[in-house]
Structure 1
Amino acid sequence: MYNEENVIQRFFDTVRPILDDIGLPYEIVCVNDGSRDATLLALTGIARKDPRVRVVDLTRNFGKEAALTAGLDLARGAAVIPIDADLQEPPELLPEMVAHWQDGFDVVLARRAERSSDTMFKRGSARMFYRLLRMMSDVEIPENVGDFRLMDREVVNALHRLPERTRFMKGIFAWLGFRQTTIDFVRPARQEGSGKFGFRKLFQLAMEGIISFSTVPLRMWSYVGFMVAAAALLFMLYILIDTLLFGRDTPGFATLATVLLFFNGLIMINLGIIGEYLARIFTEVKARPIYLVREQIQFETANAEDHKP
């Protein structure tokens, strides 16, 4: 949760009756990702009345992927379901997820059947991103599947063995494998507040996904280099033969400048891609923790009037 004070009460009023009806013991782990509003105060008030609610307060805003990692690290259940607080991931799917898990599936994916609640730009860019990632990556990342999924404890334990600091969780989830099934849903519009992912963050996440799960951007420059060298050799032969046979004036400055600028641009793009990979190597070598927890809040007892056993 990040600055979600306006939706917290509605989230709990929606989720807790559904979890109660499932009939299995549960806990709700709330990760406060450095909120600047009254999110932590509201969560503490709810946890005071319900011992099944555990609040994890991070020392600052580490970002969605780090906060998700914190929740998965600290959850103790036999199955774990990450879910955002904005209710765009319908809690009504939770009983069906649990039923599939009880039938023997290790992972139950929730896939958006359609994305009419998103803008046309977001739908188009997401479609293009998934197609590009499928072309470049060896890992099959399911389209229109977010972090909302059920994972068996064995899957979560396997996730703990992956040590990378720079994380693209959708790719990591897909890399794990295990026995999976999928259920479809229609994503509703956000009830309160506004989304926290603008174009810049979405672009960074897309870059993270491509670089984390593909080496094609690095390898492709070998092919580009061979093609450019072959084209340059053919052009050199053409100029040599044309000059020897027919004579030729020295090419103009504009032609030379255009060629130089074009190849310098290719070199800079190549260096930029190498720099992206080096930056991630630098991050991994430093081995800093993915997140830091300031405090965990959980009350052992609750008022009888506020919590049914």
Structure 2
Amino acid sequence: MTNRIVYSLVVPLYNEELVINESYYRLKSVMDRTLENYEIVFINDGSSDTTRDKMEDICKKDANIKLVNFSRNFGHQAAITAGMNIALGNAIIVIDADLQDPPEAILEMTKKWRQGYNVVYGKRIKREGETFFKKFTAKSYYRLLKSMTTIDIPVDTGDFRLIDRKVCDALNSLPEKNRYIRGLVSWVGYKQTFVEFARQERFAGETKYSLKKMMKLAFDGITSFSYKPLMVAGYFGAFTGLIGAVLLISSIITSVIKSNSILNLGLILSINLIMFGIMSCFLAILGQYIGRISDEGKNRPLYIVESTISHNDLNKNEVLKGTMFSN
């Protein structure tokens, strides 16, 4: 083996004190079986529990481990981006710490990479330990996104994947702030394939992806890769305008024939409320796009690193402190 790092694992962490030790042992076991030099980059995304303390203990024992501590919680996609910015390997593998995506699938991914594939993503054929609501909404969303975009974003996949160094460099060069990593990986292209696996129930603890966070990720995916919501709003506006004109003419004709009053307060209020609701929905869609334009214009860093810790740093009683961020 050479001194060159072949594999870099990027593992986002947010309040994973119940699972972090088991996650570390399983990841280490898998990576040792590759018989190649590797590093595991844990990104502590502003955890408020004992995740950081436990990770520092692990760093003291294992020279292959790096710990990056954010100054606060910046989100899952920012944590993945930070890991890709810092990773040194020829191949970078992104996996969550909750062990729902089995680390053992990494070995199959590395085989595909050795065969010449630049991206190997994990495709879920089964999802255990998840509610019907979660399974239904996830399945529906992935297919909706695929139908709305001009790029091929694989369905039933998450961020668990292996990417080649040149793919990682291409992703690191992209400046956008509201990042949807799995969509960006498809956008940059290169030779891609997949490995199938059954997604497991969480080893311990609860999911950190609340409904609010899932909704934001969904909007990031749609607004980053599709303008169809705006087109639908325009078409629907034209359609409702046409229907309104037809109803107005019909109402006038009916009122003239029957000698009734054209103005009907209940009808007018109902139509106004319906139209107000429709307009509010489409303004909200427009606001999503405008808000993202505003985020890009502010040019704030995607994340801020409080400290970076490794085995050697702890042995020397040193910690690299400072600010690091994605351009």
TM-score normalised over the length of structure 1: 0.93
* 1:25, distance to aligned residue in structure 2 (A): 0.6
Corresponding residue SS for 2:271: helix
The answer to which structure, 1 or 2, has the higher relative contact order (CA under 8 A, 6+ apart) is 1
* 1:97, distance to aligned residue in structure 2 (A): 0.9
Partner of 1:7: 19
Structure 1's consecutive aligned runs of 4 or more residues displaced over 4 angstroms after TM superposition are 243-246
Which amino acid is the alignment partner of residue 293 of structure 1? V
1:31 equivalent in alignment to 2:43? yes
- The CA distance in 1 between the partners of 2:239 and 2:299, in whole Å, is 39
1:16 equivalent in alignment to 2:22? no
Superposed counterparts of 1:2-151, under 5 Å:
2-151=14-163
Which amino acid is the alignment partner of residue 262 of structure 2? T
TM-score normalised over the length of structure 2: 0.88
- The CA distance in 1 between the partners of 2:93 and 2:43, in whole Å, is 13
- The CA distance in 2 between the partners of 1:12 and 1:68, in whole Å, is 17
Corresponding residue SS for 1:22: coil
- The CA distance in 1 between the partners of 2:219 and 2:257, in whole Å, is 51
Corresponding residue SS for 1:118: coil
In structure 1, the gaps of 5 or more residues are 304-309
Partner of 1:172: 184
Corresponding residue SS for 1:167: coil
- The CA distance in 2 between the partners of 1:130 and 1:87, in whole Å, is 22
Superposed counterparts of 1:157-236, under 5 Å:
157-236=169-248
Partner of 1:307: none
In structure 2, the gaps of 5 or more residues are 1-12, 316-327
Which range is displaced more, 150-159 or 44-53?
A: 44-53
Corresponding residue SS for 2:152: coil
1:300 equivalent in alignment to 2:312? yes
Partner of 1:239: 251
* Greater strand fraction, Structure 1 or Structure 2: 2
- The CA distance in 2 between the partners of 1:281 and 1:266, in whole Å, is 23
1:179-218 Cα shifts (integer Å, max 9, x gaps): 0111110111111111111222212221222222211111
Q: What fraction of aligned residue pairs are identical, expressed as a percent?
A: 38
- The CA distance in 1 between the partners of 2:129 and 2:165, in whole Å, is 32
- The CA distance in 2 between the partners of 1:194 and 1:231, in whole Å, is 48
Cα root mean square deviation, aligned: 1.7
- The CA distance in 2 between the partners of 1:8 and 1:265, in whole Å, is 46
* 1:247, distance to aligned residue in structure 2 (A): 3.3
Contact residue 146 and residue 154 of structure 2 kept, 8 A: no
Contact residue 6 and residue 192 of structure 1 kept, 8 A: yes
Question: Structure 1 residues 302, 287: closer, same or farther in 2, change over 3 A?
Answer: closer
Contact residue 51 and residue 302 of structure 1 kept, 8 A: no
Contact residue 50 and residue 302 of structure 1 kept, 8 A: no
Corresponding residue SS for 1:264: helix
- The CA distance in 2 between the partners of 1:111 and 1:132, in whole Å, is 17
